[in-house]
Amino acid sequence: MNVADSQRVSSALEHLGYTQTSQAEEADVIVLNTCVVRQSAENKAYGRLNSIKPLKERNPNLVINLMGCLVGVRSHDVLKKRFPFVDVFSPPSDPAPLMAFLTQSEVREMEVDETATRYAYMDGDLALPEVDRGSLVSGFIPIVYGCSHACTYCIIPYRRGIERSRPPEDILAEARSLVRQGVKEITLLGQIVDRYGKDNDAYPNLSGLLIRLNEIDGLQRIRFLTSHPNYMTDDLFDAVANLPKVMPHIEVPIQAGNDEVLANMKRGYTAEDYRKLVARLRERIPGVSIATDIIVGFPGETDEQFMDTYRLLDELRLDVAHLARYSTRPGTVAARRLGDDVPEAEKMRRFRLLEELQEQVIGEINARYLGQRTPVLFEEKVKNRWKGRTPTNKLVFVESQDDLRGQLLPVEITWTGPWSMIGKL
């Protein structure tokens, strides 16, 4: 989501005549786009802010824009006091405050025409930043902003605001625009992406949107994330199974495998519900790969409850598990009511156990690809090898002197490991 947001800011800045620099010291404008989903991410943002501060002291004309979930959608008076050297504060996904600031103070000197103040990122006609134009293979399109769920651990609804679906015309226009600029694969984004359209009767649902995106000429692949177990409907399964461009890869977090912990998280399903969902996904979408998220050390999680998660993960044999150690987030229900009673060392122990288990599981799943032929969409060259992905989102590296960027080619897999595979054209 932040990568997508940052691309939009870059694009908007280029509309005003700015160009990218890789040297912070050279910049006239620095945008720091932040994440606060865990304390570690928030700390990183503070660290970066502190490293930018001296640049402002040396160059008072430097414009510093703090953006994203550290700012949030509510008042940022506290941040203003704490970081007086920041010029502009922007909520997530919103380049407008920065654009307003820059056009007021610099529009005359830069002699940009009227259109510069029209925000391309808002009306669906998205110009990719210069560096990405013609080279970006896989692009992101946010389709639902914010989140109105209240998982007790999660800060996102407080910082990204209530759930808002974007108009389908904007999404389709943006997809076509990305394809014109060389993009071959689009990933639709939302905190609960399957809830797309639920806030507006005039909009299609996610499967309806996928049907329309599938018709775009030149677009090769469509993905979406993140799903929630309670909102995945049969028509969505059918869309994934039947639409040739929609890839058989589902990101659907379980978070915990114990019912009491799930209830305390207010996730709205049981371990058995999730087990059934996985079975249904596998039945309806042959060859589907499934990714999940898990939090260890949620307040009150006993060792026995954790072991339920461990055993379920062992049983389900999923393709990816994004693991996180619980981190108390200000303002959340868990922070207000539940404390943080699992010691850090114990969280780490549980994390490592799942990590080891999952490494073994993925190693076994991926080994089944050995000797198989699979279509790979190539994205970029890393050292002397081309990097691409299978329909199931597995990373594949292939040695080739040719320019494979953006090409979708059959690859025979010659080596597999838990994190990547090697193949030949």
β-strand pairing of 221-225 with 249-251: unpaired
> Which window, 43-51, 151-159, 272-280, 366-374, contacts ligand SAH (CB under 6 A)?
151-159
Under rule CB under 6 A, residue 232 binds ligand SAH: no
Under rule CB under 6 A, residue 326 binds ligand SAH: yes
d(CA 387, CA 380): 6
Candidate residues 6, 17, 18, 37; the one interacting with ligand SAH per rule CB under 6 A: 37
Which of 287, 311, 395 minimizes the C-alpha distance to 361? 311
223 half-sphere exposure, CB direction, 13 A CA radius: 25
3-state secondary structure of 223: strand
Residue type, 39: Q
d(CA 272, CA 281): 14
> Which window, 152-160, 169-177, 272-280, 415-423, contacts ligand SAH (CB under 6 A)?
152-160
DSSP per residue over 276-305, as a string?
Answer: HHHHHHHHHSTT-EEEEEEEES-TT--HHH
Cβ proximity of 143 and 32 under 8 Å? no
Under rule CB under 6 A, residue 346 binds ligand SAH: no
User: 206-213 and 168-180 are packed helices; what angle lies between their axes, rounded to 10 degrees?
Assistant: 30
Residues 57-116, interacting with ligand SAH (CB under 6 A): none
Candidate residues 90, 226, 366, 392; the one interacting with ligand SAH per rule CB under 6 A: 226
Q: State the residue for tokens 């504060």.
A: 89
Smallest distance, Å, CB 252 to ligand SAH?
8
- CB nearer ligand SAH, residue 13 or residue 281: 281
Total binding residues toward ligand SAH, as defined by CB under 6 A: 16
Candidate residues 86, 102, 154, 398; the one interacting with ligand SAH per rule CB under 6 A: 154
- CB nearer ligand SAH, residue 175 or residue 254: 254
Q: Is the previous residue joined to 117 through a cis bond, with omega within 30 degrees of 0?
A: no
Residues 286-325, interacting with ligand SAH (CB under 6 A): 293, 295, 324
Residues 241-280, interacting with ligand SAH (CB under 6 A): 253, 255
| Interacting residues with ligand SAH (CB under 6 A) | 37-38, 153-154, 156, 191, 226, 228, 253, 255, 293, 295, 324, 326-327, 329
